A and B are shown apart, each in its own frame.
Chain A
């Protein structure tokens, strides 16, 4: 049975959110969807050379609004109740309301004006992106990681200049995303406010994934070759793939210290599993294994859906259009100049004999 989901804003299409979890409680416990996907009549189409076909443009828009970690009070509940779901739909509708008559009054949340955002068109029942441990929460840090200090600019959302806290002394004080360098892995998978599309193109010996947000491109060999030498570390690591039945398994190593997810280090190791569970749905599970950071591996999952209106990946020329960087740095310098002038005025005593300078805001 094909599910056609409605893209019209404000229509709740909750039943689509559970496509891919024919037996929601089981899948929600972290059992790979591959076990449940083959239970029905649908079989994965194959490429002309006989590999499962995961190709196309997929979007994780469905899961905008699903937190990475599950609120503690929800325990091991992987799906919202109907009442909780209606609550979430209400909240998201309000957050993403696009009042065309009142664009001036929009308040975004640091990712631009609200009318750019693509949430609330479909809404998921999931309580968290983390599916294992069963409580949907990232395991505790190791003693070493607890003491670890991560350079602010390398840690998305934790601290740093970009989220208003400063300092703004130079580009390195801003988050990697605000510098338009990378979102990192696994962060690139997390649904954000817009441009969540990713495109998969396959050949007999490579799989490419092209993410729209921050134009990240991965070319992943299927030829069984070994990982890069450990002397080369990369922002999004080094990926190698193989087929496990109908599931694409991608192993990612060779991370450096430049990217960090929640204090992860260069020993970060990801195992991704991609399974197409129906014509319009691909499920990606990412096991995060970093023994120097977390006391045990943990797994998150995201759902890619096909959307006829989302047929191409737009160019995301982040760095080329990075006015935000210049604005934030020049704003900080202007504030410092203004503060110096105030200080000079105070310390120069009365106006008589002192040179007065006008504040000139640039």
Chain B
């Protein structure tokens, strides 16, 4: 409204515009995401990270891939998603180096194993959040990995798993997910950063725009680290026309790696 309006006209204008904005959703540049029917932040949608965390969560230069593949599987450089470096205990730092040296066969991703948390979040594949009335599903295109975020008071998980046991709560604009009961077999990335069964992850998903989430994960593990550490990254909504999760059932792709030594050799 232009200058020179009376006070009441201006109030009407403000109320009308606010009502319009709330009805239509965030205007361009407004850092607020739409809400669900029960007033929660709306995280529904298909999301994907756009960084090199799956190659290496720490800052890294470009690296060669397996020589016979030329530059195809070379790792791009990345600034890293970790605040500083992973605070390994000395024995764990040595183990990480061992893992790095045999990463092309030792990485659970090479075997099409479940990626665990937080790695599932930043695999180079989209994932989908479906927010139900008392559960939130996160379904990952990679290997059909999936997890249920439970709310309220739930019993402890009776078993340790690859994807952990997730209990969520809302803190204002943020979905906080507490993940425990890991079996410690997953890795954080392709660089050999590994986990133990004492892992405890606290994730925070916060909308910072209509198509943008801020993702933070705090990692605690007294077996491996001298203190907790945190990673953070944006998650972008996939806006491609007709986008949907497609299948990446990678077991057949990993069978030669896993079982090739047991294949019947052709007789001479």
Q: Which residues of A contact B (CB under 8 A)?
A: 47-49, 53, 55, 167-172, 179-182, 199, 201-206, 208, 210, 215-217, 219, 221, 225, 228, 232, 234-236, 312-315, 317, 319-320, 325-326, 329-330, 332-333, 336
Contacts and interface: CB of A to CB of B under 8 A. Distances in A.
Interface string B156-167: 000101110000
A219 B244 contact: yes
A53 B132 CA distance: 10
B162 A199 contact: no
Contacts of A236: 247
5 contacts: A48-B36, A312-B148, A317-B162, A320-B108, A320-B114
A22 B41 CA distance: 42
B255 A179 contact: yes
Contacts of A48: 36-38, 133
Contacts, number: 121
Nearest to B113: A320
Contacts of B162: 315, 317, 320
Given A179-B251, A179-B252, A235-B249, A329 B259 contact: yes
Contacts of A203: 44, 130-132
B146 A215 contact: yes
A329 B112 CA distance: 19
Contacts of B108: 320
A312 B156 CA distance: 11
B185 interface: yes
B41 to A, nearest CB: 13
A202 B259 contact: no
A315 B163 contact: yes
A201 B137 contact: yes
A171 B255 CA distance: 7
B263 A170 contact: yes
Contacts of A329: 259, 262-263
Interface residues of B, number: 43
B137 A317 contact: no
Count chain A CB atoms within 10 A of each CB in B38, B112, B132, B133 and give the residue with the most: B132
Given A49-B37, A202-B132, A329-B263, 6 more contacts: A55-B134, A206-B44, A216-B144, A312-B148, A315-B163, A320-B108
Contacts of A55: 132-135
B139 A219 contact: yes
Nearest to B158: A314
B95 interface: no
B264 A210 contact: no
Contacts of B159: 314-315
Contact of B247 (A49, A215, A235, A317): A235
Contacts of A182: 249
Contact of B251 (A53, A170, A319): A319
Task: Label chain A's interface by main secondary structure.
Answer: loop
B13 interface: no
B20 interface: no
Contact of B133 (A53, A172, A225, A330): A53
Contact of B259 (A170, A205, A312): A170
B94 interface: no
A312 B249 contact: no
A204 B37 contact: yes
Interface string B117-138: 0000000000010111111110
A221 B45 CA distance: 11
Contacts of A172: 255
Contacts of A313: 148
A210 B146 contact: yes
B135 A217 contact: no
B4 interface: no
A319 B144 contact: no
Contact of A210 (B136, B148, B185): B148
Contact of B185 (A168, A202, A228, A320): A320
A205 B44 contact: yes
Nearest to B185: A320
Interface in B85-120: 108, 112-114
B245 interface: yes
A329 B264 CA distance: 8
Count chain A CB atoms within 10 A of each CB in B128, B145, B249 and give the residue with the most: B249
Given A169-B263, A171-B259, A181 B251 contact: yes
B242 interface: yes
Contacts of B146: 210, 215, 217
Contacts of A314: 159, 161
Contacts of A326: 259, 262
Contacts of A206: 44, 128, 130
Nearest to A173: B264
Contacts of A202: 130, 132-133
Contact of B242 (A49, A205, A225, A317): A225
B38 to A, nearest CB: 5
Contact of A199 (B112, B148, B244, B245): B148
A170 B132 contact: no
B71 interface: no
A4 B159 CA distance: 28
B246 interface: yes
Count chain B CB atoms within 10 A of each CB in A169, A182, A203, A228 and give the residue with the most: A203
Contact of A217 (B38, B144, B161, B258): B144
Contacts of B131: 203
Contacts of B258: 325
Nearest to B254: A319
B150 interface: yes
